[in-house]
Amino acid sequence: MALRQKIAVLIGGVGGAKLALGLANLQPTPQLTFIVNTGDDFWHLGLKICPDIDTLMYTLAGVVDPQLGWGIADDTTCVLAGLRRRYAIDTWFKLGDQDLALHLLRTEAMRGEVSLTDFTSAIARRLGITATILPMCEAEMPTTIHTRDHGEMSFQEYFVRRRWQPVIQRVRYGSRQAASVPAPVREALAKADLVMIAPSNPWLSIAPILAVPGMRELLAAASAPKVAITPVIGGDAVKGPTAKIMRELGLAVSARTVASYYDGVIDGFVDDLRNPHFSMDGLRTTRLDTLMTDLERKVAVAQDTLDWARGWVS
């Protein structure tokens, strides 16, 4: 294994960002590439918004709102107040002014034919982030939620406006345009010493990445071990709708369900000490304390996962 380990991480929003921060604080710092879900991306008030990319960037730059886990700390909402007060706009999606500044730049760049990949790299550098942050693809692949009682709705309609309360029947990952895996993602997967799947929501954050045409094949072709970390701890998700969705889809809320969901993609699984033991054919597993309550714990989960995978490979 190379002196400076190359790690490619499939990752979503707030949950994944915790692991990302742990990885970024390892000593020595691995060469990190985050392949980020853009299924949540949407256009709002004429702005191109990429929630998962931004959450990751703000987290790694140390400017994220520590309470929310997304948005910028101590941000104001003057523009939103103006929209609501003067023009009676329904401001259900919270957009801080500092956050809006980034959306303005992104929208301008993308209208000007700059790729999301290039824009993201430039902003990450500007924010002082040394890790590489890559969108899963350039094409728009909006995740659509089919609900039991309210029909089909966009991801943000489901997740933010309705606070993930509707009962999910099916999640659809689709692209309006022809989507493909961008060259830098392809390269990162090919060169990785380790591929990780962050403990993000498998159905909402990781599945959209796996749905990019060609992504599963690239993962299968990658020589590195591919390890997922459980988002289920002690029979529940740490945060967000993961457990609720599993129940609604008729699945057992367990690490095994997650591991099965990643069948054919991963060859290693980091389970949590609190979960009941399980084994699956052809899948290496380990049981660690995966709860990431503070920076120390985030670093520990990153380090323990790496140590395990390192021992396993050598």
User: Which stretches of the chain bind its own copies, using CB under 8 A?
Assistant: 45-47, 76, 78-80, 82-83, 86-89, 97-98, 100-102, 104-105, 107-108, 111, 123, 126-127
Q: Which is nearer to its own copies, 133 or 197 (CB)?
A: 133
Q: How far is the CB of 55 from its own copies (least distance, A)?
A: 16
Q: How far is the CB of 62 from its own copies (least distance, A)?
A: 12
Those residues whose C-beta lies under 8 Å from the C-beta of residue 293, and which sit 6 or more positions away, are none
Q: Find the shortest distance in angstroms from Cβ 145 to its own copies.
A: 24
Least separation, in Å, of the C-beta of 185 and its own copies? 25
- At its nearest, how many Å lie between its own copies and the CB of residue 172? 24
- Beta carbon nearer to its own copies, 108 or 263: 108
Q: Are the C-beta atoms of 207 and 246 separated by less than 8 Å?
A: no
Report in angstroms how near the CB of residue 89 gets to its own copies at its nearest: 7
Tokens 């400076």 sit on residue: 4
In the complex with its own copies, the residue whose CB is nearer, 58 or 308, is: 58
The contacts of residue 35 (CB under 8 Å, 6+ apart) are: 8, 9, 10, 11, 134, 136, 185, 188, 189, 209
User: In the complex with its own copies, which residue's Cβ is closer, 74 or 281?
Assistant: 74
- Would you say 66 or 282 has its CB closer to its own copies? 66
∠ CA(9), CA(233), CA(247), 5° rounding? 95
Shortest distance, CB of residue 97 to its own copies, whole angstroms? 4
Q: How far is the CB of 61 from its own copies (least distance, A)?
A: 9
Cβ distance to its own copies smaller for residue 11 or 123: 123
Nearer to its own copies, 60 or 100 (CB): 100
Q: CB-wise, 99 or 157, nearer to its own copies?
A: 99
